[in-house]
Structure 1
Amino acid sequence: MKAILLSGGFGKRLKPLTDYLPKPLIPLCNYPIIEWQIRYFKKFGIKEIIVCAGYRAEQIRKHLESKNLGVQLEYSIEKEPLGTAGAIKKAIKYIDTDDFFVANGDVITNLDLRKLKMHRNSVAVIPLRTTFGIVHLNGVKVERFEEKPEMFDYWMNAGIYYLNKDVVRHLPKNGNLENTTFPVLAARRTLNAIKYSNVFWKSVDSYKDMEDCESLIIANHYEKFLSTK
């Protein structure tokens, strides 16, 4: 089994840090984002990983090649931004298995990849998480406050996918999965959603996300989780 890491973004919301450091190398609790992700895939027995890189790609390659992460890495380098779908299309030449995993390059999680393999062409979804507190009312009376609840009536894309290689014919050379390929698969009823709840999941897009993610890594003993099977 192989995995594709979509690590080609500019990280504009993390400037000026990303003026000098590509987003995948931003450290969280002493390890770069991309190392957390590689260790995550390795935990589930996935040791062949294709890194899709664009911005400061050589810096990413040099860093990873200086480490002994116990995995086999290939690099698919984008000369210009291709979007998530375009990046997968370019990297598909490295995939020699029927099915493969894909992860957005800024997601840190502990969701169980084995569950995602229940169906081909699956998207991991988690309950919508609001960053605001919810006020529960009874008429005009306040009953209680609930801080940052999960909203189980709505599900959000967790940025982790299990795809069949046949999906390549629906991939554009440039564009994102969410508004090109996935709508086609959904219309054909060949796209599945695997629900996860009560999981550690964080997308790192801002300085506040970095702070929150580090707190979650510590609170969830994430490093210990990755070191055990």
Structure 2
Amino acid sequence: MEAIILAGGMGTRLQSVVSDLPKAMAPVAGQPFLYYILQSLEASGFDHIILAVGYKHEVIEAWLAGYATTMRISIVVEEEPLGTGGATRLSLCQAEREDVFILNGDTWFPVDYREMLTCHKKLGVETTLALKEMKDFDRYGIVELNEEAHIKAFREKQYCVSGLINAGVYLINRRVLRDYPERFSLERDYFEQVVADGKLGGFPSNRYFIDIGIPEDYAQAQKDFADGKYKTL
């Protein structure tokens, strides 16, 4: 299996607790957050990782020089911010598999990747999004599925007692974005534009999820990763 990790973000909202580091390199329980993502992917059977880097990419490259892994790691550098879509499109040029996983470098959601791939093939969609059921939240938008597990709508952020959210792990056909512009948002300019056409599938999973993009959740990750809670499957 093959995955792209979007690791080019500056971590603006984390500047108060993590300065001068890409978000993926934010230290969590003694290791860069990227360490845990790579460890999980290797354990899950991935053999090729494409890192889409940008802000302070030298920091990531220097750390990787001392990181031991059986996986082949390719680096794609954004010379200027391209958005999630642009970074994905650029990275897909290095992809070799027909379907490629996309992960956000500041999110932990280690789904059953092989099961997600099977679901993706069965649905026959362009892209499948991993979804997490959340309770009592207003930070995320809601994803609505039909009975066949096709995504039928994205709802704006609002308080919700219970609902599925986009958990930041995708499986995409590597040819889908080739006609898109150099710079665009994967979420706004692709997902939201094609959802009515039935081109997106959903893969709900109950595994542990955390997004370290804000200080409160970053602090929670420190505790959860230190005591092993993040391994709860």
TM tier, shorter chain? 0.7 to 0.9
Give me the TM-score of the superposition, normalised by structure 1. Answer: 0.82
Q: Does 1:123 align with 2:129?
A: yes
Larger mean CA deviation between 170-179 and 76-85 belongs to: 170-179
Preserved contact between residue 172 and residue 180 of structure 1 (Cα < 8 Å): no
Q: Secondary structure at the match of 2:93?
A: helix
Confirm or deny: 8 A CA contact 2:109 2:169 kept in the other structure.
Answer: no
Task: Tell me whether 1:9 sits opposite 2:18 in the alignment.
Answer: no
For 1:85-124, what aligned pairs fall within 5 Å after superposition?
Answer: 85-117=85-117, 118-119=119-120, 120=125, 121-124=127-130
**Offset of residue 171 of structure 1:** 3.6
Q: Which residue of 2 is the match for residue 183 of structure 1? A: 192
Q: Which blocks of at least 5 consecutive residues in structure 1 are unaligned? A: 133-149
Selected match of 1:158 from 161, 167, 174:
167
The structural deviation recorded for 1:222 is 4.0
**Aligned equivalents of 2:182 and 2:29: distance in 1?**
36
Classify the secondary structure of the residue corresponding to 1:169: coil
Displacement after TM superposition at 1:159 (Å): 0.1
Match of 1:135 in 2: none
What is the aligned-residue RMSD (CA, Å)?
A: 2.2
Question: Once the 2 structures are TM-superposed, how far is the Cα of residue 18 of structure 1 from its aligned partner?
Answer: 4.4
| Aligned position for 1:67 | 67
Tell me the SS of whatever aligns to 1:21: coil
* Structure number with bigger Rg: 1
Per the TM alignment, residue 190 of structure 1 is displaced from its structure 2 partner at its CA by 1.3
Q: Give the gaps of 5 or more residues in structure 2.
A: 139-159
TM (normalized to structure 2)? 0.81
Q: Does 1:212 align with 2:220?
A: yes
Q: How far 1:180 sits from its partner (Å)?
A: 0.7
> Counterpart of 1:2 in structure 2: which amino acid?
E
Matched, 1:41 2:21: no
CA contact (8 A) 2:10 2:21 kept: no
2-structure distance, mates of 1:28, 1:80: 27
Structure 1 contact 171–180 (Cα < 8 Å) conserved = no
Structure 1 vs Structure 2: percent identity of aligned residues? 26
What corresponds to 2:23 in structure 1?
23
d(CA) in 2 for partners of 1:186, 1:195: 17
Residues 108 and 167 of structure 1, relative CA distance in 2, 3 Å threshold:
same
Superposed displacement of residue 166, structure 1: 2.4
Q: Say if 1:19 and 1:218 are closer, same or farther in 2 by CA, change over 3 A.
A: closer
CA distance in 2, matches of 1:112, 1:47: 16
Count of paired positions = 206
